[in-house]
Amino acid sequence: MLRRIIADPRLPVILFRIDFDLAGKVQAQGCPSCGGRLHSARYPRKVRCEKDLPQSWDLRFSFCCAAEGCRKRTTPPSVRFFGRRLYPAAVVVLLCALSQGATARRLSVLRSALGVDRRTVARWRKWWIETFPETGFFKKVRERFLPPLDLNSLPLSLLLRFGKIALEGLVSLLRYLTDLSPNAPPDRSR
């Protein structure tokens, strides 16, 4: 299932378009510091994943203020990236969700298909269960989920609230998590 979703050729196109729209909204608002016009300052991202991703996947939208003396960088939220992490957000969410209840063999197949180390997945799972529920983002939104989410099965319980484990549910969840981007699970496998 994971491979089918990640291999779906629509996924990178959909996520790129969402990021493009988010970037357009940020650019239209102007510089958050001085209100100046924002110039494009896109930069390449080194994305770690064994799957061949389209070239556009490693392009991060960013802006730089055009006002002399300001020049502050503004980076819009993203559905493709969790902050500065190396793995795509879709891989982090799906691999952690599908690792719950998986046999050791099945988990090994999932990890090797994407080139993710067992310890990295363990760190991500720990982040979802221990750190994510304590984030300001989750504290603000947790009461929107009735019945309450099972915190011990995050992110699976969250993904299931956005539909079944399929492309549409994943895209909806990633949209929902855009405000979380800077606080995503640490990726120490650099």
In angstroms, the CA 186 to CA 189 distance is: 9
Where in the chain does DSSP place strands (E)?
38-40, 43-44, 59-60, 63-65, 73-74
- Please give the mean pLDDT across all residues of the chain: 83
The pLDDT score that the predictor gives to residue 36 is 95
* DSSP summary character for residue 189: -
Chain segment 40-72, per-residue pLDDT in tens: 988 877 776 655 566 666 788 999 999 999 989
Q: How many CA atoms lie within 13 A of 98 on its CB side?
A: 23
In angstroms, the CA 169 to CA 29 distance is: 29
Beta bridge partners of 64: 39, 73
The pLDDT score that the predictor gives to residue 82 is 80
* DSSP summary character for residue 185: P
And the tokens for 44? 């390449």
| N-term to C-term CA, the chain | 27
In angstroms, the CA 51 to CA 130 distance is: 29
Nearest to 114 by CA among 103, 98, 130, 127: 98
In this structure, which amino acid lies at residue 163?
Answer: G
And the tokens for 102? 């998986």
Are 110 and 126 within 8 A, CB to CB? no
Chain segment 85-121, per-residue pLDDT in tens: 778 888 889 888 888 776 777 777 777 777 788 888 8
The pLDDT score that the predictor gives to residue 189 is 39
In angstroms, the CA 144 to CA 31 distance is: 32
The pLDDT score that the predictor gives to residue 187 is 40
